[in-house]
Amino acid sequence: MTRAAEVRFENVTKRYGGTAKAVNDVSFTIPAGTLCTLLGPSGCGKTTTLRMIAGLEYPTEGRVLIGGKDVSALPPAERDVSMVFQSYALFPHMNVLENVGYGLTVSRQPKAKVREAARAALDSVGLSGFEERLPSELSGGQQQRVAVARALVLEPSVLLFDEPLSNLDARLRRRMREEIRDLQQRLGVTVAYVTHDQAEALAISDKIIVMNQAVIAQEGTPRDLYEAPANAFVAGFVGEANRLPATLSHRQGDMAQVTIGSATLSLPHRGAAEGAVQLAVRPEAVELLDVADPATTLRGTVAKAAYLGGLMEYTLTTEAGDVFVIDSHTQRQRGVGEVVGLGLGQRGIAVLPA
């Protein structure tokens, strides 16, 4: 499959009925052959966006382009797009083979070819031997695979997933997401993938588009979003972050002085103005120190400590507020009430406008 196509939104707005906008003036590009996740809390407009790619909804304003072609007004059947639904939407009255072959059947392909292609697609998701089963006779994971096979059989240039793993258990979810990623890499197809699970998004995406309240909060690679969140929403939604009040001063080049509690750090200011700012601090970016220099480190008291096997989780009380810390030094366990220094480097800390 080499026909992967680019998906582009140009100033797309979707209104239902009155003035409430489900999607508000959204523009983005999903490069051909990449896996792009639409990430956000429920009601943020990500599913509406996906449905507009599929053609199940039409934009009120703006254009949707697939492979450079304006498809804004095209019905789903005329777009080179397949979709895997959250509920899988397997036809309950057809067996697995009929479900998978459906797309070819309705495009009037000869029966033998339909059967052959459907078998091949089933084989590619590891479900050979299940052809005659009805959907109700399959487990959740198997239904999921049938839904994927059904979408793949048409060799679409864009494949859409609407929260495909939300009905599966955690272990299966991890395996299925790896399978989806493998499949996408193997076929080189463009995938748009809706999820509200940030770990899932980080794990499989080439690119993530974070949406909040009908607009794009930030887009970029998983690393961009995690290490340089554009705003407090993204910092909090993608991965965990402590948000601490701080003061910014002495801007010089890219760097500035940031004062938090008694400590002063030198950090990239990322465009923030002098004055009050927020610091987004990743839990694993804090180094716990026995000896602390008050000019460069915060001091904190251990309020909670939990042993999680591979790592320790602490909640520390500091003068800048409570700080949640993940520490991989499980051998050096710190008890509740112990006073420690919080070493803050440059990695895993981002300055955000207050």
For binding to other proteins (CB under 8 A), which residues are involved? 54-56, 58, 73-79, 81-83, 85-93, 102-103, 105-107, 134-138, 143, 150-151, 154, 160, 167
In whole angstroms, how close is the CB of 153 to other proteins at the nearest point? 8
Asked if 36 and 207 touch (Cβ cutoff 8 Å), the reply is: yes
By beta-carbon proximity to other proteins, the closer residue of 9 and 88 is 88
Angle of the 170-187 helix axis to the 140-152 helix axis, nearest 10: 20
Question: Whole-number minimum distance, CB 76 to other proteins, in Å?
Answer: 4
Minimum Å gap between C-beta 57 and other proteins is: 10
Q: Which is nearer to other proteins, 125 or 342 (CB)?
A: 125
| CB closer to other proteins, 154 vs 189 | 154
Q: Which of 39, 348, 64 is nearest to 208 (CA)?
A: 39
Residue 147 CA to residue 66 CA, distance in Å, equals 23
Nearer to other proteins, 85 or 324 (CB): 85
In this complex, which beta carbon is closest to other proteins, that of residue 134 or of residue 311?
Answer: 134
d(CA 137, CA 149): 17
For the bound state, the minimum distance from the C-beta of residue 114 to other proteins, rounded and expressed in Å, comes to: 12
| Cα 119-122-125 angle, rounded to 5 deg | 150
CA geometry: angle at 256 spanning 253 and 260, to 5°?
Answer: 170
Least distance (Å) from other proteins to the CB of residue 236?
31
Residue 5 CA to residue 58 CA, distance in Å, equals 20
Residue 82 beta carbon to other proteins: minimum distance, rounded to whole angstroms: 6
**176/342 with CB nearer other proteins:** 176
Region of 117 (left: φ > 0; alpha: ψ -120 to 50; beta: rest) is alpha
